[in-house]
Amino acid sequence: MGRVCFPFSKQKSEAFGTVARPIARVTLRTRSGELFDVTALVDSGADISMFSPSLARVIGIQLRRGIRRRFQGLGGTIDAYIHPVDLQLGGMRLRARVAFPEIEIPNILGRLDILSRSSVVFRDEREVCFRY
């Protein structure tokens, strides 16, 4: 069984000044096989992971070739295209379904295929740990 932890990131909030957020480093693989890291908010309330459309272009995904679905959240309703994506969190490698909207958003790690495959612990706004 493996484990990887990421420190919370201090970020500005219009409502609260500075807040600590659970941000994970995710390694992605492009269609040509190159690896690179991005960050994503760990969101246990998100049904699916959602990454920005600019990231889709970087890893070689043609956005509209995915499965189109409508998602609803605090910001309202958004259409996005679901694609399989090879990614890595620490030593945990997996292929996950990720939704890509047509508007820029912060990257989010959700339950489907990612958080559901590990045990996630949020430690006192200091770190978020995955056991897989």
Four-point Cα dihedral 59, 53, 72, 131, nearest 10? 30
Q: Give the CA distances from residue 114 to residues 10, 12, 17, 46, 104, in Å, rounded to whole numbers and listed in that order.
A: 24, 27, 30, 11, 21
pLDDT digits (tens, 9 = 90+) for 75-124: 899 999 999 999 999 999 999 999 999 999 999 999 999 999 999 999 99
DSSP state of 116: G
The proportion of the chain whose per-residue pLDDT surpasses 90, expressed as a percent, equals 92
pTM tops 0.85, yes or no: yes
The confidence score (pLDDT) of residue 75 equals 81
Residue 30: the pLDDT is 87
DSSP per position, 31-68: TTS-EEEEEEEE-TT-SSEE--HHHHHHTT--GGGSEE
Residue 37 clears pLDDT 90, i.e. is over it: yes
